[in-house]
A and B are shown apart, each in its own frame.
Chain A
Amino acid sequence: MAYALNEDQQDCLQELINVAMGQASDQLARYLDTFVFLTVPNIELVNGQGLSSSLESNTDSTAVVSQGFFGYEGIRGEALLVYKHKDSDRIGDLLGYEPGELSVEEQLIDISSILTTTFLNVFASQIENQMSYSAPKLLAHTQDTVDDYIKQISFDWDMALKVNINYQVTDYSFNCEMILLIPAAAIENIKTVIDRILEDY
């Protein structure tokens, strides 16, 4: 496969992500004043169909938030945050807002942006880059609309590099999955960056 990362590249990316996850979870724990657990990331190449069926098999999804990111050297992609539990209405407490001060939608968007940008900022500094972000968008909320929404997306693209990270904030029984998707055109760019890092070692 033309886009596939070789073993060294895959290991290097895995290591960069591991380090970024460690720092991000530390920062988040301090900011949120509670433990944040991140599971071992899963890195793979997917095509549109593969992603669509893996999203559809996630039948208990209750919300999806999308946020675009872009940095120097053509590093860009889209982050999807998939929420599973209905008890996401306690996110407001977690973020320090007063009850009723913000809607469930706003809470979801706020926490999504915090999780995505904290992780990607650390990741970007690992590769001596700097990320900018688009505003996060709530694609669908409530189980019915998530299913409908996913069915409506055409997923009409060939290949993407997919990184899955699971976030757990056990004190708030809060659980979500971050799916970073890097489009085909940017995979070459990230490989260039990885190769440079490998050369330095």
Chain B
Amino acid sequence: MNSDIELTQVTEQLNSGILLLDLDLNVVSWNRFLAVHGDQKISAAKGKSVFDVFPELPKNWFECKVASVVQLGTPSFCSWEQRHHLFELPHTRPFTTDSDFMAQNCTFLPFNTDGKLTGICILIEDVTDVCHYQTMLKQTMFELEQANRMDGLTRIFNRKHWEDTLAKEFVRAKRYGNQLSLIMFDLDKFKQINDNYGHQCGDLVLTETASRISDMLREVDVFGRYGGEEFGILLTETNAAGAKEVGERIRTILSSTPVTFEKQTISFSACIGISSLNTMQTRYEDLISEADNALYSAKTSGRNQVCLAPSLRMCS
């Protein structure tokens, strides 16, 4: 048995592509995998530039890639995770995946003859399967992560995620000396709405509150349901005056338009407490309790009110 010939037989059966180029990037040879998937005859491709045989290749990128292999004599890699494919080849699961082309991991290797670099060998691995399942897994992980952060009813952040974010932002703002304000608000006489119109009506008021305010806030504001009918909004890069303005808008946006439930019109409102970062606070909980104190002052001075924390001393 001639082991060289035997091995050639094996490479012909491989489910990976082998492409051999000379240093001018002309095709020297390839195995059956490329002949079949590329649907081209080696006799026609031999001696032609790889860019003529595979016009889909990104020329400059490919030349840079090869340059490192030639100059440093090191291998270079290209993964489907960064570049789905290099060669536009069909794959074996056209019906059960949504990939147009075969996903590939490619390896560029220096090819030596008698210890001298004479060419570049490119190995092409079909990873369409891996790509398909990995993409599905990522999507599922993303959805789970989202679900894990969301409040089921109001579709805004839940208490845990909201508080985690507050903790992080608190540390960041302290470290960089940024402004940070917190709004806590609570729906007025919410128990009465539940008692008079039923819990479905109460749920409607909660979802309506969340959606009106979500529409109003900036992308960077962090809005979450703190508990029952209490909500929290974290305003980054915002001072007390800015937060008070937002608080007033929240008060108006909630109280100005009632909700309609089973042909009944139900008015609702909220009391709003505001605190801002200062040098005295050492933990994010301090920010919460100051906003809570302000919220309590708002409640005691009537309904539909905005109050600033004791350290900011002001009620409207």
**Which residues of A approach B to under 8 Å, CB–CB?**
27-28, 30-31, 95-98, 101-103, 105-106, 109-110, 113-114, 117-118, 121, 132-133, 135-138
Contact = CB atoms under 8 A, between A and B. Distances in A.
Interface size class of B (residues with CB under 8 A): 10 to 19
Contacts of B154: none
Given A31-B68, A95-B68, 17 more contacts: A31-B67, A31-B72, A97-B61, A97-B64, A101-B61, A102-B61, A102-B82, A105-B81, A105-B82, A109-B77, A109-B79, A113-B77, A117-B75, A118-B72, A132-B75, A133-B75, A136-B77
Contacts of A109: 77, 79, 82
Interface in B95-146: 105, 107
Contacts of A138: 81
Nearest to A119: B74
A98 B60 contact: yes
Among B58, B61, B71, B77, chain A packs the most CB atoms within 10 A around the CB of B77
A29 B72 CA distance: 11
B73 interface: yes
B83 interface: yes
Contacts of B82: 102-103, 105-106, 109
Contacts of A121: 72-74
Among B72, B74, B81, chain A packs the most CB atoms within 10 A around the CB of B74
A114 B60 contact: no
A28 B213 CA distance: 55
Interface of B: 58, 60-61, 64, 67-68, 71-77, 79, 81-83, 105, 107
Contacts of B68: 31, 95, 110, 114
A24 to B, nearest CB: 9
B79 to A, nearest CB: 6
Contacts of B107: 135
Nearest to A31: B71
Contact of B76 (A27, A97, A110, A137): A110
Contact of A101 (B58, B67, B74, B76): B58
A28 to B, nearest CB: 8
Nearest to B60: A98
Contacts of A114: 68, 72, 74, 76
B75 A95 contact: no
Contacts of B64: 95-97
A1 to B, nearest CB: 34
B77 A106 contact: no
B83 A106 contact: yes
Contacts of B83: 106
A113 B109 CA distance: 13
